């Protein structure tokens, strides 16, 4: 919304483009605030003597709730519109489809590695790691998708076009995972290709967040809560529903990154991402590359 001053001028910070620009730094603050409050909740519960798995799971839930609340506030106040990215109409279908896609993708990866003799199922477990794995999916899916796709990809697509925006956000998404204690340079590259592109494509396919949130949630929950693999080199290894042994060369079993570092996951995630991008193109959801001062994307 553009507001004239008493003298007839326009306050630069209230023009549509300036208000969009403010979403970049405020989006970073939103993301960091969600992370910080999630950690604070975890530490507070641990301080009361709660089980470590329960404290971690609760903190991840807090992270997700804070991210959603702050994003809604940000869009209402700065974009001056409804938050259609998280609108309820069609949400169940898109979220459910995302869960199905993420679950199937990880099942294909695990099945392929099992067929190659890299992954073996030894039994089952009922440890608290199942809930931790599920909540890793919830916390990361909401907080990271809101920031990387809901803010960065949406705004960069508006200012530069889809391809520059998708490439940049995929690289940054992969690089951010280098902060994890067990992360590797190859692991960051793998996440860039298999997840950064896939999740960006999922957002572009619907221009909403429910599909990528569902894929991301199921991806992490399957890895940490079912298969029992580490997730993105986080070093949690809390165990999952299945008791598994994963042994092989690092390029195949993922090494310290968990299965996300496996070339099998890279190929599967990339193939699915390309398929979704083709669908987004058919729907007319891709914005041609352009300079920031040219006509912006209609999707912002």
pLDDT of residue 235: 79
Spatial distance between the Cα atoms of 291 and 158, rounded to a whole number of angstroms: 10
Q: The whole model's pTM is what?
A: 0.89
pLDDT score at 220? 92
Query: pLDDT value at position 114?
Result: 96
The span from the CA of 38 to the CA of 58, in Å, is 8
Residue 97: burial class (beta carbons within 10 Å; 0-12, 13-18, 19+): middle
- Series of mean pLDDT values for 10-residue runs along the chain (300 residues): 42 58 90 94 88 83 94 89 91 97 97 96 76 83 96 94 97 95 94 97 97 96 88 78 90 93 97 98 93 67
**Distance (Å, whole) CA 268 – CA 137:** 19
The full set of domain ranges for the chain reads 86-282
How far, rounded to the nearest angstrom, does the alpha carbon of residue 271 sit from its chain's CA centroid?
A: 18
| pLDDT computed for residue 137 by the predictor | 84
pLDDT given at position 50: 79
Contact yes or no for 196/149 (Cβ under 8 A): no
SS3 8: coil
pLDDT recorded at residue 39: 92
Phi, psi of 250 (to 5 degrees): -55, -35
Tell me if residue 124 falls in helix, strand or coil: strand
């Amino acid at each position: 919304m553009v507001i004239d001053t008493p003298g007839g001028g326009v306050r630069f910070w209230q023009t549509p483009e300036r208000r969009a620009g403010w979403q970049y730094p405020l989006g970073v603050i939103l993301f960091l605030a969600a992370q910080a409050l999630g950690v604070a909740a975890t530490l507070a519960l641990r301080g009361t003597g709660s089980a470590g798995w329960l404290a971690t799971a609760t903190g991840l839930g807090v992270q997700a709730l804070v991210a959603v609340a702050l994003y809604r506030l940000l869009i209402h106040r700065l974009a001056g519109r409804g938050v259609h990215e998280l609108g309820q109409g069609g949400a169940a279908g898109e979220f459910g489809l995302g869960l199905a896609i993420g679950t199937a993708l990880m099942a294909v990866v695990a099945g392929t590695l099992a067929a190659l003799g890299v992954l073996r199922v030894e039994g089952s477990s009922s440890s608290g790691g199942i809930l931790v794995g599920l909540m890793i999916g919830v916390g990361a899916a909401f907080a990271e998708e809101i920031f990387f796709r809901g803010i960065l990809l949406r705004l960069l697509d508006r200012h530069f076009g889809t391809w520059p925006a998708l490439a940049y956000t995929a690289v940054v998404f992969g690089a951010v995972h280098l902060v994890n204690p067990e992360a590797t340079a190859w692991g960051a590259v793998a996440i860039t290709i298999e997840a950064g592109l896939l999740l960006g494509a999922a957002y572009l396919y619907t221009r909403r967040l429910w599909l990528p949130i569902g894929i991301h949630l199921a991806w992490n929950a399957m890895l940490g809560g079912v298969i029992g693999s580490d997730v993105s080199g986080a070093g949690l290894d809390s165990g999952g529903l299945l008791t598994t042994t994963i042994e092989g060369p690092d390029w195949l079993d993922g090494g310290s990154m968990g299965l996300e570092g496996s070339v099998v996951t890279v190929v599967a995630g990339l193939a699915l991402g390309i398929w979704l991008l083709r669908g987004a193109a058919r729907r007319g959801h891709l914005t041609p590359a352009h300079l920031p001062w040219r006509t912006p994307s209609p999707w912002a």
